A and B are shown apart, each in its own frame.
Chain A
Amino acid sequence: MTFYSGQNGRMELYEPTTATGPALSVAFVNNGQQLTETGAQTGIATTVQTGDSGSGLTVDFEVDEGECEQLTINTPGSGYSDDQVVDVTGFADVTVRIFRREARRLAKVASWQIQTNAATLDTTTLGDTDSTSAYGLRESSGSARIFYYDQGGSNDCAVLMKKLLKVRNNLGDPEFAGVADEPELVRLKLDVMHGTTAKCFEFVALITSASMVMGVGEVLAADIQFKVQGAFEKLTVLN
Chain B
Amino acid sequence: MTTTTTVPDLPDLVPSSRGFSAGDYPVKKFQAQNGAEVRMNYGNKRYGMTLSLGYANIPDADARRFLEHYDEKTEGTFKTFAIGPNARDGWTEDNKWLGAHEWGCQWRYAGPPQLTSVYPGRSSVQIQLYAALNNA
A: residues with CB less than 8 A from B are 121-128, 134, 136-137
Q: Is the CB of B56 within 8 A of A122?
A: yes
CB-CB under 8 A for A126 and B57, given A121-B118, A121-B119, A121-B122: no
B43 close to A (CB within 8 Å): no
Q: Which chain A residue shows the least CB distance to B55?
A: A125
Question: In this assembly, does B18 line the interface, its C-beta being within 8 Å of a C-beta of chain A?
Answer: yes
Q: What is the bound-complex CA distance between A134 and B118, given in angstroms?
A: 12
Determine whether the beta carbon of A126 is less than 8 Å from that of B56: no
> Digit string of B114-127 for contact with A (CB within 8 Å is 1, else 0)?
00001100100000
Closest to B13 in A: A125
Q: Contacts of A123 on B, CB cut-off 8 Å?
A: 16, 56-58
Complex: how many Å from CA A126 to CA B98? 14
Chain B residues near A128 (CB-CB < 8 A): 90
B17 at interface by CB-CB < 8 Å: yes
**Could you tell me if B15 and A125 are in contact, using CB atoms closer than 8 angstroms?**
yes
Hey, what's the 0/1 contact readout for B58-102 against A, CB within 8 Å counting as 1?
A: 100000000000000000000000000000011100000000000
Q: Contact check, B119 vs A136: say whether CB atoms are below 8 A apart.
A: yes
6 cross-chain pairs, A with B, having the tightest CB-CB distances, nearest first? A126-B90, A127-B90, A125-B14, A127-B89, A121-B57, A126-B89
New A-B pairs, 17, CB < 8 Å, besides A122-B16, A122-B56, A136-B118: A121-B56, A121-B122, A123-B16, A123-B56, A123-B57, A123-B58, A124-B16, A125-B14, A125-B15, A126-B17, A126-B18, A126-B89, A126-B91, A127-B90, A134-B57, A134-B122, A137-B119
Partner of B16, one of A126, A134, A136, A137: A126
In the complex, are the beta carbons of B15 and A126 less than 8 A apart?
Answer: yes
In this complex, the member of A122, A126, A137 whose beta carbon has the largest number of chain B beta carbons within 10 angstroms is: A126
A121: chain B residues at CB < 8 Å are 56-57, 118-119, 122
